[in-house]
A and B are shown apart, each in its own frame.
Chain A
Amino acid sequence: MSTLSRTGTVTTDRAKPRRLPGVDGVWVAIGADSVIFAILFGSFMQARLHNPAVFEASRHTLNINLGGIDTLILLTSSWSVALGIQALKRDLVDRAPRYLLGGVLTGLMFMVSKSIEYFEKYTAGIAPATNDFYMWYFTLTGIHLLHVVFGTSLLAYLWIRSRRRAYSSLQRVVPECVASYWHLVDLLWIMIFPLLYLQKAA
């Protein structure tokens, strides 16, 4: 798309200055968190390398349907929050709260789903100490769940503030920081789910 400016020069979307949403510090934190999770994924694969039979047998006890539904929930949550940011950019400040509320509710849904899954494991007598696979399962999903709880709390804060019209196209740094973090939570789960639930043994 191109536009004609008052001076008569044509500017295109490509000419728009490139920018990171929010503040740079959040992106440093997101990058650091991503690297930490990559190291955890590598450590999981190394542990699996030494005991593939136990990992495969244990993997079969996980609820793939719940894991898949969790992924759909987080993708929908990210989408809703992304729509909230788009609404703020266009100064549709009345619409932003409903999208942010969508993010909060889907975050809560993920927590409920994970609680059901943990309860299933607990009633089956499965704990982190059962074997290496379950230690990794509870560690990776547990750390991720903490990210979800933190992110949902931040989204709830944004929702409350946005209902008071605290944010707009000119005041959207905080919503952009929270949204970027929330999308990180989504993309981490996109990798954790196949790593733990779908990775068949050779």
Chain B
Amino acid sequence: MSVLRERVTMVWLGLIVATCVTTWGLSKALFSPAVAVIGIFTIAAVKVSYVMLDFMELRCAPIPVRVAFQAWPVAVAAMILGFWFATPAVG
């Protein structure tokens, strides 16, 4: 078992890069708040999806269970963005 050849290692590397992009890239003032927030929560939903599929092994789970769990990051990100756009601007 070579750790470097494991799929979970590739996924972990991708998640680390995505975290660095959102934390130290998209959160900066370079982007408009709307672009930053959409980008940050879309990436968060994708990250959660990969954690479910590859770390939690839902890729091999019964399809209904997989669909139910995969709906969670989509629903949560959509709800947060919905509230965000409904919230009055500051300043």
Chain A residues with a Cβ under 8 A of chain B: 16, 18-21, 27, 31, 34, 38, 41-42, 45-46, 48-49, 52-53, 56, 64-65, 67-68, 71-72, 75-76, 78-79, 81-83, 85-87, 90, 92, 95, 179-180, 183-184, 186-187, 190-191, 193-195, 197-202
A45 touches B80 (CB 8 A): yes
A52 touches B88 (CB 8 A): yes
Instruction: Kindly report which residue of chain B lies nearest to residue A75, judged by CB atoms.
Output: B15
Partner of B83 from A48, A65, A95, A194 at Cβ < 8 Å: A48
A49 touches B57 (CB 8 A): no
| Chain B interface SS verdict (over half) | helix
Chain B residues with a Cβ under 8 A of chain A: 1, 3, 6, 8-9, 11-12, 15-16, 19-20, 22-24, 26-27, 33-34, 36-37, 40-41, 44, 47-48, 51-52, 54-58, 60-63, 65, 68-69, 72-73, 75-76, 79-80, 83-91
Interchain CA distance A56-B56 in the complex, whole Å: 34
B34 touches A202 (CB 8 A): yes
Interchain CA distance A24-B13 in the complex, whole Å: 30
Give the residues in chain B near A52, CB-CB below 8 Å. 87-90
User: With A31-B69, A52-B88, A190-B44 in contact, is A19–B76 under 8 Å at CB?
Assistant: no
